[in-house]
Amino acid sequence: MSARRPFVAANWKMNKTIEETEAFLGDFLPRVAGVEGTEIVICPPYLALKSVVETCVQSRVEVAAQNMHQEAEGAFTGEVSAPMLRELGVGWVVLGHSERRTYFCETDDALAEKLPAALDAGLGPILCVGETESQREAGATEDVLRRQVEIDLAAVPDERLSDVVIAYEPVWAIGTGRTATAEQAEQAIGFIRALVASRSAEAAAAIRVVYGGSVKPDNARELLERDEIDGGLVGGASLDPEGFAAIVAAAGP
Ligand code: PEP
């Protein structure tokens, strides 16, 4: 069993109104009230952030945004910045999700600026990396992970690396119902940890690297019980309070 604290985050994507969010929390928070060891994070759409922060303030549940701009302010219509998220009481931010990389032209160069901007503002970045199906079939998984990890974390000082959570999310497993096997996930996560170790052995021992891609209540334990896998980033299955609470339970001892 690793000494790293399990980390489980719910990525709601563009789902749930504020009213639906409150209904979810009314059901979910009592279910996880007794959970002590695992860090639980909800990533709602921007408009529900304030309400989730306020509702979760008395609980151990933390809150993440799903993206942010690298600049603190300026002429960037439609964007929000790290200081704006901090002002709301948000603690984390998802960066580099494959949907942002695929549909919204998120680049590794932009992520190289977003990671330090998030940390400087006091946000914990949840950095998503992962290969597509064709990259895996071409044997390029490690090259893709190496490029993403090296560029995206390039401007993060070694002593801050362990403030980042890395989510290994093979693109072919996101929202598809196809889950990486525990062996595949553990192998990729071990490789990511080795990349971090090439910069700092101390950071590699401390940084949390979680798995994302069709995690469900019925496959969560098999994945999350593995020593290398420090938790999960959960999309579809996190929309249901009972199911997400079961996944949180599976990440614990
Ligand atoms: C995600 O959105 O990060 C994700 C892993 O989605 P899903 O669990 O639905 O595959």
Per-residue pLDDT reduced to its tens digit, 95-115: 999 999 999 999 999 999 999
Tell me what the mean pLDDT of segment 173-185 comes to: 93
Pairing mode of beta strands 7-11, 165-168: unpaired
C-alpha–C-alpha distance, residues 207 and 127, integer Å: 12
Query: For residue 7, is pLDDT > 90?
Result: yes
Q: Among 12, 174, 176, say which to mutate for ligand 1: greatest number of ligand atoms within 8 Å of CB.
A: 174
186 lines ligand 1 (CB under 6 A): no
**DSSP class of 110:** H
Tell me what the mean pLDDT of segment 18-23 comes to: 98
Tens digit of pLDDT for each residue in 202-227?
999 999 999 999 999 999 999 999 99
**What's the pLDDT at 3?**
86
Ligand 1 atom with the shortest distance to the CA of 167: 3
169 lines ligand 1 (CB under 6 A): yes
Query: For residue 243, is pLDDT > 60?
Result: yes
202: CB partners within 8 A, 6+ apart: 162
Structure tokens at 26: 């009314």
What stretch of H or E contains 19? helix 18-32
Query: For residue 140, is pLDDT > 90?
Result: yes
Structure tokens at 15: 């789902």
Q: Which residues are catalytic?
A: 97, 169
Which residue CA neighbors atom 8 of ligand 1 most closely? Answer: 235
**Ligand 1 geometric centre to CA of 215 (Å):** 7
174 lines ligand 1 (CB under 6 A): yes
Note if the pTM is more than 0.85: yes
Q: Is the dihedral of CA 12, 16, 17, 22 positive or negative?
A: negative
Which residue CA neighbors atom 6 of ligand 1 most closely? Answer: 235
207: CB partners within 8 A, 6+ apart: 4, 161, 162, 164, 165, 166, 193, 196
Q: How confident is the model at residue 253 (pLDDT cuts 50, 70, 90)?
A: confident
Count CA atoms within 13 Å of residue 220 on its CB side.
Answer: 26
213 lines ligand 1 (CB under 6 A): yes
**Ligand 1 geometric centre to CA of 228 (Å):** 19
Which residue CA neighbors atom 3 of ligand 1 most closely? Answer: 235
215 lines ligand 1 (CB under 6 A): yes
In angstroms, what CA-CA distances link 39 with 92, 105, 131?
Answer: 12, 30, 26
C-alpha–C-alpha distance, residues 129 and 24, integer Å: 28
Per the CB < 8 A criterion, the answer to whether 68 and 85 are in contact is: yes
Ligand 1 atom with the shortest distance to the CA of 11: 2
Mean pLDDT over the full length of the chain? 97
Residue 42 φ then ψ, to 5°? -110, 130
233 lines ligand 1 (CB under 6 A): yes
214 lines ligand 1 (CB under 6 A): yes
